[in-house]
């Protein structure tokens, strides 16, 4: 694969996460620098603040408008900024990355303990939010939950586990629940953070701190490795009319970079992204 040519779309932020496209194909993302903001790039290039929310690690468009956002809970952030809670953490600390099935079901990773030191990397799980907001526990045994994606046909679920540097894959049963979780790929350098799926069913994994993006085939083979825009690239998503725009968001500000260098970058991908289905919960 040829190197990706990255251009800065907008910069000067802190710790950016959770890029996604809304129903009008506008890029949304979050700046996790306290107090935390949900942001959107408007058609004129300006950046609008949609809501204030702490600890967001995952965003996806909702079919009725607005966004589903993680954090200390999982909520629908309506277009007027009001919040409709879908899932509380119970005995856990909060939630991170999420993904959607073609039927609009949401899968989200839970931090069972505080993800920051000294407890970081010591407990995580996966949860499913179905139509009507029904929630179900899928599995535990995750150390530090991160990127979640589904195959284009909705038959498989992929889940990044950052601390052991692995990607898990599960089949989805007739009831929509993950089955037969197994190892898809183990990284020996770099730690998997965000992910995105392309139309070939390949999994794009961001290796946080290394500046690398790895494209895995559906059987877990390492297809190619390319440079991201910065070492502290956190997550990616596909966008544009042909879904060939690959957007990446980066961390800036201590303890990652010394300056407010968090930014949104764009490159042309060699394959189009798979459609990301809006949530229907």
Q: How many CB atoms lie within 10 A of CB 244?
A: 17
Whether pLDDT at 267 is above 80: yes
Please indicate, yes or no, if residue 200 is contained in any of the structural domains: yes
Check residue 117 and give its pLDDT.
79
Whether pLDDT at 255 is above 90: no
Whole domain around residue 198: which residue ranges? 7-268
Work out the average pLDDT over 262-270: 97
Please indicate, yes or no, if residue 229 is contained in any of the structural domains: yes
Average model confidence (pLDDT) across the chain: 95
Please indicate, yes or no, if residue 164 is contained in any of the structural domains: yes
Please indicate, yes or no, if residue 67 is contained in any of the structural domains: yes
Work out the average pLDDT over 127-147: 96
105 vs 117, more confident: 105
Please indicate, yes or no, if residue 276 is contained in any of the structural domains: no
Number of domains in the chain: 1
Q: What's the sign of the alpha-carbon dihedral 33, 281, 121, 263?
A: negative
User: How far is Cα 181 from Cα 5, in angstroms, rounded to an integer?
Assistant: 36
- Whether the Cβ atoms of residue 14 and residue 260 lie closer than 8 Å to each other: yes
Residue-wise pLDDT tens digits, 46-93 = 999 999 999 999 999 999 999 999 999 999 999 988 999 999 999 999
Q: How many helices (H) and strands (E) does the chain have?
A: 0, 24
User: How far is Cα 261 from Cα 27, in angstroms, rounded to an integer?
Assistant: 19
Please indicate, yes or no, if residue 278 is contained in any of the structural domains: no
Please indicate, yes or no, if residue 2 is contained in any of the structural domains: no
Residue 131: pLDDT band (50, 70, 90) is confident
256 vs 183, more confident: 183
Please indicate, yes or no, if residue 134 is contained in any of the structural domains: yes
Q: Which ranges of 60-187 would DSSP assign to H, the alpha helix?
A: none
- Whether the Cβ atoms of residue 73 and residue 110 lie closer than 8 Å to each other: no
Structure tokens at 97: 């990355």
Residue-wise pLDDT tens digits, 15-36 = 999 999 999 999 999 999 999 9
- pTM beyond 0.95, yes or no: yes
| Residue 280, CA atoms < 13 Å, CB-side half-sphere | 8
Find the CATH number of the domain harbouring 87.
2.120.10.30
């Amino acid at each position: 694969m040829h190197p990706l040519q990255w251009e800065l779309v907008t910069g000067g932020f802190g710790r950016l996460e959770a890029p996604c496209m809304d129903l009008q194909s506008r890029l949304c993302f979050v700046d996790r620098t306290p107090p935390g903001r949900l942001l959107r790039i408007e058609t004129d290039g300006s950046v609008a603040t949609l809501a204030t929310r702490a600890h967001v690690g995952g965003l996806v468009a909702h079919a009725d408008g607005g966004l589903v956002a993680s954090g200390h809970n999982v909520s629908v952030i309506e277009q007027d900024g009001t919040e409709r809670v879908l899932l509380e953490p119970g005995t856990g600390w909060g939630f991170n990355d999420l993904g959607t099935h073609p039927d609009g079901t949401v899968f989200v990773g839970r931090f069972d303990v505080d993800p920051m030191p000294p407890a970081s990397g010591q407990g995580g799980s996966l949860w499913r939010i179905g139509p009507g907001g029904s929630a179900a526990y899928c599995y535990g045994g995750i150390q530090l939950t991160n990127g979640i994606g589904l195959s284009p046909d909705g038959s498989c679920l992929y889940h990044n586990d950052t601390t052991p540097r692995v990607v898990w894959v599960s089949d989805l049963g007739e009831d929509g629940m993950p089955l037969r979780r197994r190892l898809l790929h183990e990284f020996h350098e770099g730690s998997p953070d965000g992910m995105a799926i392309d139309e070939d069913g390949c999994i794009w994994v961001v290796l946080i701190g290394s500046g690398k993006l790895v494209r895995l085939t559906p059987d877990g083979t390492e297809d190619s490795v390319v440079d991201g825009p910065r070492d502290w690239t956190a997550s990616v998503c596909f966008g544009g009319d042909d879904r060939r725009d690959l957007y990446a968001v980066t961390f800036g500000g201590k303890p990652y970079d010394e300056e407010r260098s968090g930014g949104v970058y764009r490159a042309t991908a060699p394959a189009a992204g798979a459609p990301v289905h809006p949530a229907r919960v």
